[in-house]
Structure formats: structure tokens, C-alpha cells
Structure 1
Amino acid sequence: MRLMLLTSGTRGDVEPFAALARYATARGHRVRLGAPEHSGVELSGIDTVGLGMNLHRMVRTHGLSPWTAVRRFRTEIRPGMREMLRAAVRETLAFGPDLVVHHPLVLTAPAVADALGVPRVLTEFVPVATPTREFSAPGTPESVLSTVGAVSPDPGRFNRSTYAVPRGGARLFRADVERACAQLPGGRAPSPAAGSRATLMAVSPHLLPRPADWPDRVHLTGAWHETAPEALPDPAVAAFLRGGPYLVASFGSMAAGDPGARGRAVVASARAHGLRTLLLTGWGGLALPEDSRGEDVLAVPAAPLDVVLPGAAVAVHHGGAGTAHTVARAGVPSVTVPFLVDQHFWGRQLHRLGVAAAPIPYRELTPEALAPAVGEALAHREPARRTGAAVRREQGLRTALDVLTGI
């Protein structure tokens, strides 16, 4: 089977597609991956084409926040989306796939699949395109406010209506989709045909039990995670891991606010519980100020989470879908510090499951707030261990490929 995989976004949107590409290729399928450039994901050995949309550069320069998105919409986000949508059509036509598998942001995927007469499959890492009565759409005001207890987390029959918000966002790019589809036979998008043949919800059922009102075409596969030989961290990190109990802090691509103040809060909270601190500074969301340095702290730009997390006592993280699953898979309790969109959703889910403390929005992160939250998380070690064992038994990639080959 010839599979065209199309994704857009940041590292957490690319890594799972890369895992699926390698898994399907190893089982004899012809796979091409269209992905944003400079995502920071290792793509060696994958037939890859670039789709532009360099969010890495924008985040490094301006940070990532809703206000950044508003300010940069016309100058960077819209031009980047326009380039990505056009490239997705061009590269899919050139490949001639039997099946198109795409991220919700790739808004031209339905049109190009229809033009080629092939089925398509939508992939979600966060349930933003599949409505349910059981919870509001992640990232909507209702979802975010419920994280901090400002509204009821269960508005019941109104939950389904919140999924109109992400659909409305897609309408902002309608003209860009039409321009990109000028490359199609006939010079325009075909009339809407049937929807996606299936939806792959690449989420662990142990972190998000399947809502009863999801249709049968939605497959809760488990997270897409590569089982690869563990990459050894650099010698300084390896030595740190052997030095006694420690806390791991990582905010990934988040870079809003004061990274030094956040680093200070993390180190102080770890010390309050007799823990050392491994600070992964990422794209700039964390920094180690001079007054927090010490032999009990190591700050590095990055380290493989699958290596450093299993030995950790606790993790402090932003709550992105990929990181939330990686922390859960490691069996480590955590504190989430959500910045935006789905992170509030995952922070709330982990807390409800009893494997994490209550989320602390990033603007409220202080030593006084974080230290007791770390203590709360440490009390959840046994539930976190059990959840980790269950998540590690999942076969998300195998389940996803079984669905795709059955279409």
C-alpha cells in the first residue's frame, strides 16, 4: 500500500507520524511523510518531503502563546499555512497514494484525496474534531476554565457545541485552501464527498477512556510510540541520573513569560522535597538563574525523555499530548503547568486519573504553588506506576496500521 502521511505543527505533531512511517515501512508499505521543516524530529530513514511552516523559528523568536498567534497571524502564521497547504496538495499529487492519512491542520487533505479518488483517514492526538457530550473541545474557553475550576467541567449537552470553535478556526483559511486546490485537476477543489473513512485517535485509552457517543469509525489506538534502542544521554546527564532521587522538568516548545522565574520555582520546589533537578530548557521555556545553581541541578537543552523519566521521582511538564503520554508511560507522577490549547485538557485528565497533582497555569507558577503540588504528586507514585505498566502494554502503531490496511 502507498501511504501519504501529512502533518503540521510542532514536535509533538511530527514524532507520532514519524513513528507510524517507520513502522509501516518496516512492514513492506511504501510511505511518504509530509512534515514541517526544522521540527527537531529525527527523520532519517523516512521518505520525507518538507511542507514549510517553520513554527520552530517563530517560537524561538517570539514565543508561543495565543497573543503571539494573533499578532503574527498576518505576517507569519497565514503565510506559513498557505505554503503548507499548497505543498500538501503538490506532494500528494506527485506521490499518487492509495490512502491519505492526515493531521487536522492539513485542510487540503480532503480535497486532494477526493481528487485522486482515494480514501483518507483523519488522525487526532487531541480530540478536537470528534465531538462528544462527555467533555468540551480541548482548548476552548470552557475546557481551559474548567482546569482552574472557573466553570463546571461537565456542561453536559452543551459540550458537543464547543467543537464548533475549532471548526470555525479552519474557516479562517478557506481562501488559502481554495488557492492551494488550484493545482488539482480542473483547477479547483472537488465537491465535498464522504468524510474521512476513519479517524485514528492516537491516544491511550488508559488516559482517555473512550466516550460512549463516539461513532464506530473512530479508533482509539493508543499513542504512537517507537520502541527503539534507548539512546544513551551525554556523560554529564548519565552521571546525574546515578546521583540519587531527582525531578525532571521540561516545557518542550513553550517559551512564553519568564523562563528564569520558572526555573527558580522548579529548583526551589525540588529542594523542598530533597530532590535534585534535571532541567531540560527546550525551546526557551525554562532557564537556570545564577541564584539557583548548585551541584544538585543540571540544566541541558534536551535529553531523551524515555531515558531520563523512568528513574525520576516526579516530573514537571507543560502537559502537551506527547509529553503527557511519555510521562504516563514511564510510570512517573507529575505536575502539569499548562500554557495553552490541549495542555489544560491533559493536565485535568492526569489529575482526574490520580497520577498527577492539580494543574498550575504557567502564569501562577511560583515556589509557593509548586512545592505543595510536587508533594501531592509524590503521593501518587503507586497509581502512576500502575498506569505506566498498562500504557506500556499498548500497541498503538500496530492497531493503527491494522485499521489502515483494513480500509
Structure 2
Amino acid sequence: MPVPPNPQCDRFKSGRDVRAPSVFILVTHLLGVGHLARMCALARGLAANRHRVTLVSGGRPAPLIGKDGFDFVQLPSVHCVGVHFRTLLAEDGTPIGDEARQARIDRTLAALEASDPDVVVTETYPFGRRQLAAEFLMLLEAARRQTRPVAVLSSIRDILNPPAKSSRAAEAEEILAQFYDGVLVHGDSLVTPLSASWPASKALEKVLTYTGYIADTAQGPITPIPSDDILVSGGGSAASLPLYHAAIGAAEMLDRPHPWRILVGHGVAAGDFEALATKAGPKVTVERARPDFPALLAGAALSVSQAGYNTMIDLGRAGVPAVVVPFEQGKEAEQRLRAERFHALGLAGIVSEAELTPERLATEVTATLDRPRAAVAFPGIEGVANSMKAIEAAALRADAEAAAWAQLETALAARGEIRLWWRDDDAIAATPALDRLLDLARRHDVPLALAVIPAGATPGLAERLASEPLVDVLVHGYSHANHAPDGRKKQELGYRPLPEMRAELQQGLTRLQGLFGPRCLPVLVPPWNRIDPALVKILPACGFRGLSVSADGPGEAWEALAVANIRFDPIDWKNDGGLIDRLTLLRQFTQVLEAGEPLGILTHHLVHDAWIWAFLDRLLEKLKQHANLRFMRAAELFV
């Protein structure tokens, strides 16, 4: 979401033009050149609009891709053969070594330092390129250390190859939450939402910006080169060799007047190229890929190709009848998914890679040529313009968040002693989420009050907490059951006879004291922070000595109880969970510092996503840096 300019931000003080932030892009293509072509198109669009752009490429040089208008840095290149993505090869075909990897990192970091960017864009990572994670992470860490705010965005195509393991998606979200400000999806959510190819959580969906498709429109409208050709293309890698061979065979079978032209990518070895040229009959011309490919395509009778991102956009823009053979080796699913989506729009026929033969290809080509050509509206190709808007908004947003952190730091430093405490609700068992919560508290040396649901509490939870000396246990109602009538806010401690609720609370307190011993404090935390005021009056008679609700909880009849409420909750309960907008949270925290002490922070470890964990980690890190701030134990508060 765009943020209004803040005159206190460093970028405004320095006189930098905030409408044209400097952009740093890191991309590594491993097979074809589609990833690089897409990022170069974005870089040219940014540069044409007064943005200073540095693009760092880690794949093999691609001479046909325009690099005018921006700074281009070539790293020691890597590539893959076939679908063996784990094996990265140097230019000479040998596996890349540690020295070359370090040289790539050094050159990337030097380019970052020289470009002094406002926005860093990583192409594909962290959704892919795991084998290059070290250099991406070094870049992200360096960007975070810059003296000025730097926004970080991930750039991905419309369809990703689905992760082989569910843990891969979780790992990607952890990295996104820790380092990134958003994700640019270069596609149309109505055509292909990211969830069609990637397990997108609700939290991830919140940080996605669909830009539309990126097309290379810098040269203006395409002027077709009229021909009657069947034009065969396969991107920049040798992965298209089976398609080329099938096309040569299909050309010999068809009794059609159309000549065939096969454009072979520059990533195909010279020997393979010569073999194709030798095999081709009189109806087939074999030549290297040409820079005027879009014009050739627009004037062709039919296109035969794979289903890569850029190819499908070229097909849609040209409006030419098409047959696509999606690349599917090694369980690759991205091109198949895209082909099916575009086939549903009426933009292409499909021949699967598994059934690719000259005969099958010839049949599909014949059917497509004979099919009446229908006018089909291609999805939006405003990807460059919309990406630029998102990049500009991210730069402003980074400034605003930096200013909000600075304002919080000022407010903390300006006050005398600040007392805080941390309450986490809904614990019942030892879980991975609880382990993460306890690890967070331990790393920051912060005491924690754990509100445990008595009816569901397990002996395993007691065993887990036995080794956590900074954790106190509070009584979280009884069973966390809602007894409110329809139309009312959820509430367990209300809408029932007082004797019934009193008996439950006494039973719950007794059970937790039996499980946790003196670690369990006689302090009640009502579920949903709501409690019948009449029940508050009899809590001391039930054995309770303390009560904790929200800041706006009932205020009467508390004289006999020690009270410490919570005032800060980072979870966006009103909008289906997840983290509240970070800028809003920082402003809220700064405001509640003035609302009275001790300041209670509330969390719910069982529903935290990666973004909530990341925010809490950073907040605790900042808070612990202030000597005038003290986190208090619940045992100290509820005396």
C-alpha cells in the first residue's frame, strides 16, 4: 500500500527523487533465458522512467537480450544441463567450486555497494534457486545493513514449479517474513492465481502484488514480417532439442504448402545445431534464434513452441495460432500448468512432452491450421508499469517504517523506567509452536506468562516447562468454550449461573496447580478477555489473587485482586488473523507506552505465521537494547 511522503525520512532530507528510487536486481537463469529476459524488460522500463537500475546476472551471457539504459553486471556464470538443477556448472562445463561461488558473492556485494539502491529485487528466490541460497542471503543481509532504508521485493513469474516438499514452502515464507517487503507476481490472478502452482498461505497472499504480464514493449508495436511459415522456437537451452527433431519429422509428413522455420537457441551446442541442419529436409530452414523473433511470429501462419513465460506472452501479443509442447522433464510442472491455462483461454493447442512424436505433432498442427481463427483477448501486459508502481510504493513504505522504528526508539529513550510483561494464551500441550515461543523468550532473556487451558492441559506440557525457569503459568478459563448466545461476542465466563462458573474455575485452578506446582499462579486470564462482572467479585473466594484481561476490560470490583492487563496484540483478529500492518503496529506500540504501566504484550503462539514471529523477534531485539526497560515476571506483577 502506498504511503504518503514523510518529510523526516532520510531520502527526503538528502533531496533524492522519491518518485524514481534506485533499483538493484539479482537474477540467475539456469536453462533458458526467460528469467533474464523478463528482468531486463523490467530494468529497461524502469530506466526509461528515470530510475537508476543495476541488474546483476548470474546465468550464461545472452547476446540477443537488450541491456541498454541500465548498468549490467555479469557474474561468473552458472548453468544446468537438463533438469539436473542441483549440479551447477561453470562456463567450461565443470561443476562450480567454492572459489567461483565466493567470486559471485563478492561481485554481487560490490555491485550493491556501488549502486546504493533504494529497492532490491531478487528474481525467483526464495521460491526457488535454493542451490544459490548463500549468495542471495548474503545480499539480503547486506541490504539490511545499509545506512538508508532499503525495500526488498521478490519477483516471480505467474506460475512456479510446485515445491517437492511442503517444508520448502514453509522455508520460503520464513525468509520472506525475515527479509522481504512484498512479492511481485508477474501474472494475472484471474488467469492463474499463485495458489494454482504454489501452496500459498493466507499470510503469503497478503504480501502478493499481481502486476500483470511483463512484455518487452519498449520498441513499441510489433510490425509483422509476413510469411506463410510454421515457426518453431524453443527458448535458449538444449531442452528444446526433442521438439526440434519432432518438428523436422512432422514437416516431412504434412502435405501442406507451409515452409517450416526452426529457430534454435544460442544455448544449444554447435554440434547439435549442425545435426539439426543436416537432418532438415527441403521444407525446413534451421537457423539460430533472431532478435526479430516477435515480428517473425506475428507474421507466421502458426507457431510451434514450448510454453515458457515469455513465449506464451509473445504468442498472445502476436495473436498467431499456436501449438505448445510444455517442458515436463524431471517432474517440471510449470509449463504444463501455464499451457493448460492459456489453452482454456483459446490461445493454444497442447501436445504433451510424453506423447511428442512427429506423427502426434503433425496431427495437432493440421487441426490447428484448419480450425477457424477466433479473436481472443489476451490478459493484461502492463507488468512493467505496475511493477514500477509497486517498487516506488515499496521505497516509500520502507522510509515510513524506518521513521516509525526511529520514533519508537526516541519514545523509549525519552522515558524513565519502562515496565513490560509478556502473556501468551491458549497453551495446552508441548508443540513445535510452543518450542519456538520458548526459544524466542530464551534468546531474548524475557520472562513469559503462559495462559494454559486447564481442561486441555497435558502432562507433556508440564514436563516441557520444567526446564524453563522464566515461565509462569496462568489459568486460562476452564475449557475455552463459548457460551455466548448467537449474535454476541464469544465468552466462556458469562451467560451461565455463577455457581457453575465458580465450580469450573476452582476445578481448573486445582488441576493446573497439580500439574505445574508453584509455577502455576492463582491468576485468571478469561478466554477472549471477557468476564461477567459478577464473577469478578467472587474470584477471591474461588482462590484467585490476580486477573488479566484487555486494556478495555471491566474495571469494577477489582480491589481485592492484583490486576495487570494487556495493551498490545500484533494479530489482526478482525481480518482473519495474521500480522497487523507493521506501520500501524509500530505507531500503536509508541502510543501505548503513554497508556500506563506495566505494558502488557499479548501473543497466541498456536496461530502465529512467519510474519508474526519475525515481527516479535525484531521488536524484542529493539526493546532489549534499552537499559531503562525491564520485562517483569508474572510472579512479580501479581503479588
Task: Report the secondary structure of 2:303's partner residue.
Answer: strand
- 1:366 maps to what in 2? 357
CA displacement, residues 63-92 of structure 1 (integer Å, 9 cap, x when unaligned):
x31247559599425656654444333321
Secondary structure of 1:93's partner?
A: helix
Q: Deviations over 1:155-187 (max 9, x none)?
A: xxxxxxx5645777x8xxxxxxxxxxxxxxxxx
Structure 2 partner of 1:399: 386
Aligned match of 1:119: 151
Q: 1:163 to 1:46 in 2, by over 3 A?
A: farther
Measure the CA separation in 1 of the matches of 2:336 and 2:57: 26
Between 64-73 and 118-127, the greater mean CA deviation after superposition: 64-73
Match of 1:99 in 2: 119
Does the CA-based 8 Å contact 2:214-2:381 persist in structure 1?
Answer: no
Which residue of structure 2 lines up, in the alignment, with residue 66 of structure 1?
83
AA in 2 matched with 1:48: F
In structure 2, C-alpha distance between the alignment counterparts of 1:377 and 1:167, rounded to whole Å: 42
Output the CA distance in 2 between the equivalents of 1:272 and 1:314.
15
C-alpha change, 1:315 and 1:83, in structure 2 (3 Å) is farther
User: Are 1:325 and 2:342 an aligned pair?
Assistant: no
- Residues 275-334 of structure 1: CA deviation (Å, up to 9, x unaligned): 22111021337764545422x432220123211111222211121111122112211232
Write the distance in 1 (CA, Å) between the matches of 2:41 and 2:388.
11
Residue pair 1:355, 1:381 contacting (<8 A) in 2 also: no
Instruction: Specify which of 217, 239, 243 is matched with residue 207 of structure 2.
Output: 217
Paired residue for 2:219, among 229, 246, 249?
229
Distance 2:244 2:47 in 1: 43
Which position in structure 1 is the counterpart of 2:185? 201
Comparing 302-311 with 346-355, greater Cα deviation is found at 346-355
Change (3 A) 1:291 1:378: same
Name the SS of the counterpart of 1:44 in structure 2: coil
TM-score when normalising by structure 1: 0.70
1:90 has 2:110 as partner? yes
* Amino acid of the structure 2 residue aligned with 1:299: V
| Per-residue deviation, residues 178-202 of structure 1 (Å, max 9, x unmatched) | xxxxxxxxxxxxx996442111111
CA change 1:196–1:67 in 2 (3 A) is closer
Structure 1 residues 7 and 381: CA distance shift in structure 2, 3 A: farther
Structure 1 residue 120: Cα displacement? 0.2
Aligned residue for 2:336? Answer: 344
Higher RCO (CA < 8 A, seq sep 6+): 1
Match of 1:47 in 2: 71
Amino acid at match of 2:95: E
Q: 1:107-134 CA distances to partner (integer Å, 9 max, x unpaired)?
A: 2243232222522010001443xxxxxx
Whether 1:298 and 2:285 are equivalent positions in the alignment is yes
CA distance in 2 between counterparts of 1:51 and 1:35 reads: 6
**Separation in 1, partners of 2:105, 2:371:** 44
The Cα of 1:262 is off from its aligned counterpart by 3.0
In structure 2, how many angstroms separate the alpha carbons of the residues matched to 1:163 and 1:335? 33
Which of structures 1 and 2 has the bigger CA Rg?
A: 2
More deviation in 87-96 or 16-25? Answer: 87-96
Match of 1:151 in 2: none
For structure 1, the 5+ residue unaligned runs are 59-63, 129-137, 142-161, 171-190
Q: Aligned letter for 1:107?
A: F
Give matches, 1:20-59, under 5 Å: 20-36=42-58, 38-40=61-63, 41-55=65-79
Q: Give 3-state SS (helix, strand or coil) of 2:145's partner.
A: helix
Letter in 2 for 1:360: S
Residues 85-94 or 26-35, more deviating: 85-94
CA–CA distance in structure 2, aligned partners of residues 28 and 68 of structure 1: 37
Q: What is the CA distance between 1:346 and its match in structure 2?
A: 2.2
Report the 3-state secondary structure (helix = DSSP H, G, I; strand = E; otherwise coil) of the residue aligned with 1:398: helix
Structure 2 partner of 1:148: none
Q: Does 1:356 align with 2:348?
A: yes
Match for 2:119: what amino acid? L
Following superposition, the deviation at residue 266 of structure 1 comes to 4.4
Distance 1:223 1:278, change over 3 A: same
Three-state SS of the structure 1 residue aligned to 2:350 is coil
Looking at structure 1, the residues matched to 318 and 142 of structure 2 have their Cα atoms a distance apart, in angstroms, of: 39
Rounded Cα–Cα distance in structure 1 between residues aligned with 2:392 and 2:363: 48
Cα gap change, 1:229/1:98 in structure 2, threshold over 3 Å: closer, same or farther?
A: closer
SS at match of 1:228: coil
1:370 CA drift (Å): 0.5
* CA distance, structure 2, for counterparts of residue 259 and residue 331 of structure 1: 22
Q: Given the superposition, is the C-alpha separation of residues 399 and 201 from structure 1 closer, same or farther in structure 2, using an over 3 Å criterion? A: same
Change (3 A) 1:354 1:52: same
Q: Report the AA paired with residue 120 of structure 2.
A: V
In structure 2, relative to structure 1, the CA distance for the partners of 1:381 and 1:199 (3 Å cut) is: farther
Task: Find 1:250's aligned residue among 213, 233, 236.
Answer: 233
Relative distance call for 1:248 and 1:259 in structure 2 (3 A) is closer
How many residues in Structure 1 have an aligned counterpart in Structure 2?
336
Q: 1:164 to 1:358 in 2, by over 3 A?
A: farther
Q: Aligned with 1:279: secondary structure?
A: strand
Match of 1:13 among 23, 26, 35: 35
- What per-residue deviation string (whole Å, max 9, x for no partner) do you get for residues 229-270 of structure 1? 37999xxxx9xx545x2211011223146576334234236x
Cα distance 1:377–1:276, how it changes in 2: closer, same or farther (>3 A)?
same
